[in-house]
Amino acid sequence: MREEHALQMKSQAQGRHAAAQVSDLVRRAMSFFETDRATAWRCLNDASNLLGIESNEPSIELRGAPDVPRRGGLPKWRAKQALEYIEANLGSKIAIGEMAGFVALSKSHFSRAFKQSLGSSPMSYVATRRVERAKVMMTSSRERLSDIALACGFADQSHLNRYFRRVVGISPGLWRRNVAG
């Protein structure tokens, strides 16, 4: 009985320590957001890993051999390049033309190939990633939703609300209350 209690106390202490680490990482990310986005992203990525929400690399399922594109899709190296660009610029405005230019393709070809390779349009993918980042920030900080919306690349809280409801099915405020328990 005592051993169970000791294990439970240790587990609770570890949980509080992890929560403090996540909170610290998100605070650091917010402080770096305007000056050093790469560092801010690394902080958020570390926080999400602690929470077990997402991995270091964006999840992509591309079929075929390593450097052979699915018919009409992006080669894996180009898809990886595009996803790295999206992750690095998630907090700011991202245009199809910028993404296409980064991987040296026309806008229309890039859009078609991206959708073929990843199953969603580039802008839909960006919106989903922004919602995922907002979830991490909502679970690891007490920041206002309006601040989280701006940090995740949404124009304002209303923009976050619309996309969040579209992707998750409920409002961000309700989701945050449900997750917070």
How much is the average pLDDT of 95-103? 95
Residues 48-62 pLDDT 10s: 766 665 444 444 444
pLDDT averaged over every residue in the chain: 80
Answer yes or no: is 10 within a domain.
no
Answer yes or no: is 4 within a domain.
no
Number of structural domains in the chain: 2
Gap between the Cα atoms of 75 and 52, Å rounded:
29
Which residues contact residue 45 at a Cβ distance below 8 angstroms, ignoring those fewer than 6 apart? 56
The answer to whether residues 30 and 108 belong to one domain is no
The answer to whether residues 86 and 171 belong to one domain is no
Average the pLDDT over each of 15-29, 69-83, 114-128, 146-160 and give the range with the smallest value.
15-29
Average the pLDDT over each of 29-38, 127-136, 149-158 and give the range with the smallest value.
29-38
CATH number where 141 lies: 1.10.10
Answer yes or no: is 5 within a domain.
no
Amino acid identity at 13: A
Answer yes or no: is 105 within a domain.
yes
The answer to whether residues 175 and 131 belong to one domain is yes
Quote the domain boundaries for residue 173. 15-56+126-180
At residue 69, what are phi and psi to the nearest 5 degrees? -70, 150
Answer yes or no: is 19 within a domain.
yes
How much is the average pLDDT of 61-87? 73
Name residue, tokens 């902080």.
Answer: 43
Q: Which of 102, 119, 136 is the last residue of a domain?
A: 119
The answer to whether residues 131 and 176 belong to one domain is yes
pLDDT value for 146: 95
Of 67, 59, 34, 46, give the one whose Cα is nearest residue 151.
34
The pLDDT-based confidence of 66 (bands split at 50, 70, 90) is very low
Answer yes or no: is 87 within a domain.
yes
Which is more confident, 150 or 9?
A: 150
Q: Which of 119, 148, 171 is the last residue of a domain?
A: 119
The answer to whether residues 109 and 23 belong to one domain is no
Which residues contact residue 138 at a Cβ distance below 8 angstroms, ignoring those fewer than 6 apart? 145, 148, 172, 175, 176, 179
Answer yes or no: is 65 within a domain.
no
pLDDT value for 44: 73
Gap between the Cα atoms of 104 and 98, Å rounded:
10
pLDDT value for 34: 61
Tokens of 90: 């998630």
Q: How far is CA 37 from CA 9, 63, 133, in A?
A: 38, 31, 14
